Amino acid sequence: MKNKDTLFAAPVAQMGNFSFDENVAEVFPDMIKRSVPGYSNIISAIGMITARFAKENTRLYDLGCSLGAATLEMRRNVSLAGCEIIAVDNSSAMVERCQLHLDAYKGEVPVKVQCADICDIKIENASLVVLNFTLQFVPKAERHALIKKIYQGLVPGGVLVLSEKFHFDNDVTHNVLFELHHDFKRANGYSELEISQKRSALEDVMVPDTVEQNKQRLQQAGFEHVELWFQCFNFGSMVAIK
């Protein structure tokens, strides 16, 4: 198979922190599909949400765009006058390849790809903001300010799609859903070694909140209408409407 993820297949003596470098960018489509239950369903739904929520003369943001899977789906689903898509990631390896992917297909709406920290950018006149498995990598202390900035940048009736890995307060259900995720990875061909090495590389880098913590943060930022619309094991996606 082309660009199969084998990054954690061999034993690593000193495990470093997971980072979105060239090596990860090269295998990313395979990695995310085999690691995140429901990923392709969520990408399709982002297309449907785009078709329903995009408004003329507004911006659509994909924050933590990686290779642009969500960006492409957004672009495929909007043809309104005056719309612009802004795709942002702070990994130059991802941003470079994202631009190539976007250039490989035609679209009606312009896309700007930016290499930047999503905590530093301006968000303005947005009808849709997508955070597809990105907030979990933002330091906890910065998450509230980011969600608040998104709320303030949305037009009335605008929507935030927030997909995350979740932690659960109940130890029994937490462990069951965690193990089911590992079963999903095993079923997709990852070995015990790959699963455990990647888990330790991610430990301090990806820090999930509970569904309730995410809901509360969205509500505290001002969102009145918040719902979990998809969940598979410990992964899921929420919509928050202004």
> Is residue 89 part of an annotated ligand binding site?
yes
| Residue 198: contacted member of ligand PPY, ligand GEK, none (CB under 5 to 8 Å, by partner type) | ligand PPY
Token pair 């900035």 is at which residue? 149
Q: Is 23 or 57 the residue whose CB approaches ligand GEK more closely?
A: 23
User: Three-class SS of residue 234?
Assistant: coil
Q: Restricting to residues 156-175, which ones interact with ligand PPY according to CB under 6 A?
A: 165
- Cα–Cα dist 181/233, whole Å: 6
Q: Is 12 or 145 the residue whose CB approaches ligand GEK more closely?
A: 145
> Is residue 39 part of an annotated ligand binding site?
yes
Short-list 223, 235, 207, 193, CA closest to 13: 193
Q: Is 67 or 123 the residue whose CB approaches ligand PPY more closely?
A: 67
Q: By CB under 6 A, is residue 215 in contact with ligand PPY?
A: no
Two tokens, residue 29: 């489509």
| Nearest distance from C-beta of residue 45 to ligand PPY, angstroms | 18
CA angle 239, 60, 141 (to 5 degrees): 60
Which one of 31, 54, 128, 226 is in contact with ligand PPY (CB under 6 A)?
A: 31
Contacts of 114 (CB under 8 A, 6+ apart): 86, 87, 88, 89, 95, 121
Longest dimension (CA), the chain: 54
Tell me which residues touch ligand GEK (CB under 6 A): 20, 32, 64-66, 69-70, 88-91, 94, 117-119, 132-134, 137-138
Q: By CB under 6 A, is residue 35 in contact with ligand PPY?
A: yes
| Nearest distance from C-beta of residue 8 to ligand PPY, angstroms | 9
- Cα–Cα dist 88/98, whole Å: 10
> Is residue 120 part of an annotated ligand binding site?
no
Residue environment code for 168-191, b if the CB has 16+ CB neighbours within 10 A, otherwise e? beeeeeeeebbeebeebbeeeebe
Q: Which residue is nearest to ligand GEK (CB)?
A: 64
> Is residue 209 part of an annotated ligand binding site?
no
- Residues making up the annotated binding site for S-adenosyl-L-methionine are 39, 64-66, 89-90, 117-118, 132, 199
Q: Which residue ranges make up the site for ligand PPY (CB under 6 A)?
A: 31-32, 35-36, 165, 198, 202, 206
